[in-house]
Amino acid sequence: MTDEPRAWIGRTSEAEDIATASAVERLAALLDYERPPWSEGVVPPLGHWLYFLPAVRQSALAIDGHTRPGEFLPPTRLPRRMWAGGRIEFRHPIPIGAAIQRRSTLSDVRLKQGASGELMFVTVHHEIRVGARLALIEEQDLVFCERLTAARPLPSRAAADEPAIGAEPPVISRRAVALGPVELFRFSALTFNGHRIHYDRDYACREEGYPGLVVHGPYIALLLADQFLRSAAGASIARLNYRARSPLFERERFELCVQGGATRARLWALGPKGEQAMQAEIEPQGART
C-alpha cells in the first residue's frame, strides 16, 4: 500500500435535506418508546444520522453493500470497513421540519500496519447548518482492514475491567440489551445502510468471517446516548465522544452502563464476556462554567 490515499485529504461533499418528523417517529418506534425523553419539536441527539441518506445507484455499490471507495472516500484494496468512533458537538437544536445543509470534508487518512494486517484510518469532518446557523459538528472515524482469516482472527474478547470507579460517582444506570435480526434490519433501513454484515448472515459469516450478524457501531452509540437520557431526566447533550473497542453480534446480551456526574458522564457497552465493546463520554448542556 502506498501513501496515495492521503492525496484525497481535503475533498469535500455537500448535501441538503429536511429534518422530517417521520424519521424521528421511526427512531422512537425502534427504541420502543410511546413517549421518548426528548425535547419536543427538535431532532433528538444523534437523530441527524437519519438524514442526508446516500442516494447511490445500485450499480455503484460494492459487493458488501457500501458505496465503492473512490467516490468521496479514498480508493483502497482493503475489503472490510468498520465505524471506529467519533466526536460530536451539539451547538444548536435542529427544529423538526427545518431545511438542513451538511458539508463533509475528508480531514485525515492514516495508513498503518497492525497485528491483523494493513489498516487505513479515515476521518470525515461534518458540519450541519440550519440556514446560517451552525447546529452540529461531527468527526467520524472509519477503518478499512483485511478480511478475517484463521491467521487474522477477530481481536481478543477477553474480559476487560469496567472503568475504575474509585472516588468517582457510582454507576447510576445499567440496562441489558440483546438485538436480533429484526432490530438490526430496522436500524439498517432507518439509516439506509446497505452494509450486508448487518442483515445478510450468510455473507457476514462466509465472506467476512464473523460469527453472526454484526451490531452497527452507530446503533450502540445511539443506545448509550439514549441510556444517558433515560437516566438523567431533562438533560440534554452538549458533546459526545465514543470509541468502538470490540464488535457485538446478534442476540448477544450486553449492558449499557452510565457513570454520571454533574459535568460529565462516562458510558460503556459491556459485552457478553465482560469486554468493553464501546466507551463513550458525554458532556451535558450547561456543564461548563
Alpha-carbon distance 108 to 8, whole Å? 9
Between 228 and 163, name the one with better pLDDT.
Answer: 228
pLDDT at 1: 41
**Cβ contacts of 153 within 8 Å, gap of 6 or more:** 116, 209
For residues 39-57, give the mean pLDDT.
94
pLDDT at 2: 45
pLDDT at 166: 39
For residues 142-151, give the mean pLDDT.
74
Mean pLDDT score across all residues of the chain = 89
Answer whether 0.85 is exceeded by the pTM: yes
For residues 121-131, give the mean pLDDT.
97
Helix and strand element counts for the chain (H, E): 4, 10
pLDDT band at 288 (very low <50, low <70, confident <90, very high): low
